[in-house]
Amino acid sequence: MPSAFPDFRLGTVLATSFTATLTERRGDAVERIPVPQRLVDWLAVSGLAVDSCTADQLELAKELRESIHAAATAAALDEALPASAVQVINDRSAQGRAAAVLTPDGERRWQLSSATAVEDALGVIAADAISVISGERDGKLALCASPTCQAAFFDTSQSRTRRWCDMNTCGNRQKKARFNANQRKGAKATE
Ligand SMILES: [Zn+2]
């Protein structure tokens, strides 16, 4: 049964939160937006609420997601950006017509047009990816140290030494694995 609070990994960076809708990329990958409604859910919790999403729009979203993943991974490794990924990111950015608006409380909101809301939302995500990959934002792209993940994430820690895309999942699992390994070593030593 679909959960009312879907299990999304939401970080502080929109573009990498979006690529994290596919987790465990190098292991048993988990698709967190398998149907259009799940993308609607993710957009809602990410400040980009839309009324509806078609199967074609979901495909467009996944194509953008994988393009951001490819480009961000290349950037993290200091490799040349894949041209096809750059093209998709630029196309989505150019197609979106979202407007940034200021609320009375001084917060920024994205105003999407009702007819093309998903395309507008993807434009916002693409623009966010561009700002991260281009290096204009304060932080550094890195790859998650979990071997079954290796997701690109944006490290904004002061020392730029963050190792995991997400402390609560990948970070915790690595710590537990190390703890168990030490326990086993300890058990052997006393045998
Ligand atoms: Zn990870």
Domain boundaries, the chain: 14-189
Task: Name the fold adopted by 14-189.
Answer: Jann2411-like fold (1.10.3300)
For residue 160, CA distances in Å to 105, 121, 141, 163 come to: 32, 29, 9, 9
The alpha carbon of 121 and the centre of ligand 1 are apart by a number of angstroms equal to 25
Residue 179 has pLDDT above 80, yes or no: no
**Average pLDDT estimate for 17-28:** 95
Report whether 124 contacts 48 (CB < 8 A). Answer: yes
**Average pLDDT estimate for 170-185:** 80
The alpha carbon of 160 and the centre of ligand 1 are apart by a number of angstroms equal to 16
Top-confidence residue, 179 or 71: 71
Residue 145 has pLDDT above 80, yes or no: yes
Element holding 75 (H helix, E strand): helix 55-76
Q: Name the pTM for this structure.
A: 0.89
The alpha carbon of 145 and the centre of ligand 1 are apart by a number of angstroms equal to 7
Task: Give the pLDDT of residue 191.
Answer: 52
The alpha carbon of 81 and the centre of ligand 1 are apart by a number of angstroms equal to 21
The alpha carbon of 100 and the centre of ligand 1 are apart by a number of angstroms equal to 31
Residue 127 has a CB neighbour count (10 Å cut-off) of 18
Q: Rounded to 5, what percent of the chain is helix, strand, coil?
A: 50, 10, 40
**Average pLDDT estimate for 19-29:** 95
Task: Give the pLDDT of residue 184.
Answer: 78
Task: Give the pLDDT of residue 2.
Answer: 47
**Average pLDDT estimate for 1-26:** 82
Quickly list DSSP for 47-70.
Answer: T---S---HHHHHHHHHHHHHHHH
Residue with token string 């950006």: 81
Task: Give the pLDDT of residue 82.
Answer: 98
The alpha carbon of 134 and the centre of ligand 1 are apart by a number of angstroms equal to 22
Mean pLDDT over each residue of the chain, to the nearest integer: 91
The alpha carbon of 12 and the centre of ligand 1 are apart by a number of angstroms equal to 15
The alpha carbon of 171 and the centre of ligand 1 are apart by a number of angstroms equal to 7
* DSSP summary character for residue 160: S
**Position 49 confidence tier, pLDDT thresholds 50, 70, 90:** very high
Span 85-121, pLDDT tens digits:
999 999 999 999 999 999 999 999 999 998 889 999 9
**Position 181 confidence tier, pLDDT thresholds 50, 70, 90:** confident
Residue 129 has pLDDT above 60, yes or no: yes
**Average pLDDT estimate for 142-147:** 95
The alpha carbon of 30 and the centre of ligand 1 are apart by a number of angstroms equal to 12
143 DSSP β-pair partners: 152
**Average pLDDT estimate for 142-149:** 95
Residue 158 has pLDDT above 80, yes or no: yes
Residue 6 has pLDDT above 90, yes or no: no
Residue 61 has a CB neighbour count (10 Å cut-off) of 24
